[in-house]
Chain A
Amino acid sequence: MNSGDRDVDTEPGRRAAGPDPDGAGRALAELPPGARGRVVTVTDDGSSRTARRLRDLGFTPGTVVEVVRRAPLRDPVVFRVKDYDLCLRRAQAACVRVVEVGP
């Protein structure tokens, strides 16, 4: 594995991954392209600025986010949130906790 992947694995946001262990939703990064999720909360990845910026970009609780597509090699990912397309890395997208909603 390359260094980029190692960095991702050390992200605290990643540790909480898994199918909704504590009722705080799943990590947005786990949803496949085409799926939609409603934002439950935005967690920190060690820097409070990340959560703050994700909220400024439109990932506020209650907002529905759609996974549009993944880049070659699966990272980064394009999301549609608040009527626009935004590209995030999976590591940051993991900070956004969602519950999946139907189309």
Chain B
Amino acid sequence: MTTSCHDVAGGGEVTAGQPRFALVGSPNAGKTSVFNGLTGLNAKTGNYPGVTVARFVGVCRTGGDSCLIEDLPGTYSLEAISPDEQITVDVLDGRLDGVDRPDALLLVADATTLRRSLPFVAQVLARSLPTCLVITFTDELARRQGTLDTDALGEALGVPVLAVVGHRGRGVAQLRDRLAEWASWPTPVLAPPTDPDEVDAWAESVLEFAGYRAPERHRVTQRVDAVLLHPLWGTLVFFAVMMLFFQTVFTLAAPLQGAVESAFGELSRLVSAHVGNSWLSGLLGDALIGGVGAVMVFVPQIMLLFLLLALLEGVGYMSRAAFLMDRVMARVGLEGRAFVALLSSFACAIPGIMATRTLPSARDRLATMMAAPLITCSARLPVYVLLIGLLVDPSYRVGPFGAQGLVMFGLYVLGAVSAMLAAWAFKKLGDHRGALLPFHMELPPYRLPSPRSVLVMTWSSARAFLRKCTTVIAATSVLLWLLLNLPLHPAAELRAAGVDTTDRTAVSAYQADHSYAAGLGHLAAPVFSPLGFDWRINVGVLSAQSARETFVATLGQVSAAQDPENPARALRTMTYPDGPHAGERIFTAPTIAALLVYFAYALQCMATVAVLRRETGTWRWPAIAFTYLTGLAWVMAYLARTLTAWLGG
């Protein structure tokens, strides 16, 4: 995950003499697209020292030279009310340890909301750092019959002003040229007023001088909002969008997944054909390629999930969803911004937990953080897909919807409802002191996001997932393979146990049943047998403790040991070899239901635990989260098993 990456100013391109620029602006001003336009895909993400506000630094080429661009957290004011707004203020004032005051500022303002932004511009100019004002969305201003003379605006403010349409790349080259000559930027002759009583009159005079005419209302936005924010239709559309979202993720990715699966299968066959040593070929083919491949199969699905999230965000639907859901959040004592944090948790709990920094109240932050791991993150997706595939026939349909998609939707609802209840409980347990801080959220006009910005968002998320596959999951997979294949059993022992040593499947099945992993799985049996888990599932659940997706890789290895030719069928038809249930299937409906519910609740993600530790500054909260979620997982899984068994007669 990106959170573990500390080499913020890395990349080997940093020299002491490089000028440093900071991007300042309100949320939605188009700061990120200016940042991406200047730095390309070379941004480094990390954290500010001491706090966990995400930090983005990129290198920008300016002619023969280069400079560093830092994207500061968005804010409407330099009077901070949340931790990440405080970062922006501290960096501008050079008060943050370990971060030098920037040499110059790029102040980003949206041309369509310039009347609101000018008082903020005045606050920033009062910091007397060399500043260039970057005006975004000038294309939209013109389309909506607004006007602005950027040269006159520059004259009125006394600083360079440049129009940049970041997502189309217009003005980026000129901005680069400006960066090279930052030392000679003009500064305001007279500092603008920051007194609240004077600043409005000043702003109006500046706008008049710059020939500013505010844009007309965006007709499309008005018409679309009349439906999407309508008390009845808006709510129906909200649920339809969520439903469609999960159906798309489920159905559209299937052919791509097939392609990835066969590619890894081919790779694995190549290894076994060309590596003579059976141990080495097993380690490479089954553990490394098989284990990583089993999880990589979900790359198309996870990319699709992030792509849809990026689209919904880019179009502007996310803030509408938060608007519709704010009242629901108020019922559990939280606010719309907590909903946005929980929405991010659908991708991954880590950005979700980090997004709680926009919450000014410490109690709200804790309640949201304790709830975030319950939201169905993308790491649960591979596990759910595998288990639902075993539980529900793909051809089974309920009305127009596939039954698999419906079960998946149900699990997402379960996660969301549980998260809300958890947030409510933690909010109740906390004290009620402390002032309520204002909740406010901009509803930007609907915009067509540029393909580039959507792809950048999708790719950066996918990259984090791929990194996890090649590190944590690869290591766990290799370790598991070793546990499953050790100790070695000599042929004499196999014959003594009545195993036909010429039958490869029987040998590997015996090997797995008598491995260290089996011992470990049996050790966990007292805990998990009430849930119907056998030792193989126990090993899967234990291995998933580092990262949930590992469960898929583990079951892949376990089933491959049973039937290397067709692991999927092996899993479906796997039976207990001995014991009281001998001959019965392991993956019965109640067991799968218990497993699904267990994964819905349990905190099986070391990265989340680490982020909780860093966000709260103590081990207390991660320990509480781990204990309550694991306990809850067991109880709910037991209930799910009992209920499914009862329903199934």
Where the two chains meet, the residues of A that have a C-beta atom closer than 8 Å to any C-beta of B are: 2-4, 7, 11, 45-47, 49-50, 52-58, 60-63, 69, 71-73, 75-76, 78, 81-89, 91-92
The residue in chain A whose Cβ has the minimal distance to the Cβ of B76 is: A56
* Chain B 211-241 residues near chain A, CB threshold 8 A: 214-215, 221, 225, 229, 231-232, 234-235
Tell yes or no: B581 within 8 A of A by CB.
no
> Within 8 Å CB of B324, what residues of A?
71-72
Cβ–Cβ contact B215 & A62, under 8 A: no
Q: Which of B115, B199, B234 has the most CB of A within 10 A?
A: B115
B171 at the interface (CB under 8 A from A): no
| Cross-chain contact of B323 among A52, A76, A81, A84 (Cβ < 8 A) | A76
* A86 & B443 in contact (Cβ 8 Å cutoff): yes
Given contacts A58-B115, A60-B196, A86-B443, 4 further A-B contacts (CB under 8 A): A85-B443, A86-B441, A92-B438, A92-B440
Contacts of B235 in A (CB 8 A): 72
Beyond A72-B231, A78-B443, whether A53 also contacts B323 by CB under 8 A is: no
22 residue pairs from A and B, CB less than 8 Å apart: A4-B327, A7-B330, A7-B333, A47-B435, A49-B435, A49-B437, A50-B437, A56-B76, A60-B200, A63-B200, A69-B225, A83-B115, A84-B112, A84-B444, A86-B440, A87-B319, A87-B323, A87-B326, A87-B440, A87-B441, A88-B439, A89-B439
Among residues of A, the one whose C-beta sits closest to the C-beta of B326 is A76
| Distance in angstroms between the alpha carbons of A31 and B326 in the assembled complex | 20
Task: Count A-B contacts at CB 8 Å.
Answer: 125
Partner of A73, one of B215, B225, B327: B327
Q: In the assembled complex, which residues on chain A have CB atoms less than 8 Å from the CB atom of B437?
A: 47, 49-50
Q: Mark B51-81, 1 if CB is under 8 A from A, else 0.
A: 0000000000000000000000000110101
Considering the complex, which residues of chain B in the window 112-166 have a beta carbon less than 8 Å from any beta carbon of chain A?
A: 112-116, 119-120
Name the interface size band of chain B: 35 or more
Check if A84 sits within 8 Å of B113, measured CB to CB.
Answer: yes
A73–B79 CA distance with the chains assembled, in angstroms: 32
The 8 closest A-B CB pairs, nearest first, are: A4-B330, A47-B435, A56-B77, A72-B231, A82-B116, A85-B443, A83-B214, A82-B115
Contact A58 B116 (CB under 8 A): yes
- Within the complex, the shortest CB–CB distance from A6 to chain B, in Å, comes to 10
The CA of A73 and the CA of B144, in the complex, are separated in Å by 32
A-side interface mostly: mixed
Question: Closest chain B residue to A89 by CB distance?
Answer: B439
Smallest beta-carbon distance B85→chain A, Å: 10
Q: Which residues of B contact A (CB under 8 A)?
A: 76-77, 79, 81, 112-116, 119-120, 196, 199-200, 214-215, 221, 225, 229, 231-232, 234-235, 319, 323-324, 326-327, 330-331, 333, 335-336, 435-445
Q: How far is the CB of B420 from chain A (nearest CB, A)?
A: 13
Alpha-carbon gap, A89 to B327, bound state (A): 9
A52 vs B323: C-alpha distance in the bound complex, in angstroms?
23
Closest Cβ–Cβ distance, residue B477 to chain A (whole Å): 46
Using Cβ atoms and an 8 Å threshold, which residues of chain A touch B79? Answer: 49, 52-53, 56
C-alpha gap A50/B76 in the complex (Å):
13
Chain B, Cβ-Cβ closest to A42 = B196
Query: B330 to A82, Cβ gap below 8 A?
Result: no
Q: Tell me the complex Cα distance, A4–B143, Å.
A: 42
> Which residue of chain B has its CB nearest to the CB of A81?
B116
Contact call A57/B76, Cβ cutoff below 8 A: yes
Query: Do B200 and A88 touch across chains, with their CB atoms under 8 A apart?
Result: no
Contact (Cβ within 8 A) B327 A57? no
Residues A2 and B215 in contact, CB atoms below 8 Å apart: no
Closest residue of B by beta carbon distance from A52: B79
CB proximity of A50 to chain B, nearest CB, Å: 5
Q: What's the Cα separation between A45 and B439 when bound, in Å?
A: 13
Whether B436 lies near A7 (C-beta < 8 A) is: yes
> In the complex, are the beta carbons of A72 and B234 less than 8 A apart?
yes
Interface pair B229/A69, CB less than 8 Å apart:
yes
Smallest CB–CB gap between A98 and chain B, Å?
16
Residues of A within 8 A of B215 (CB): 83
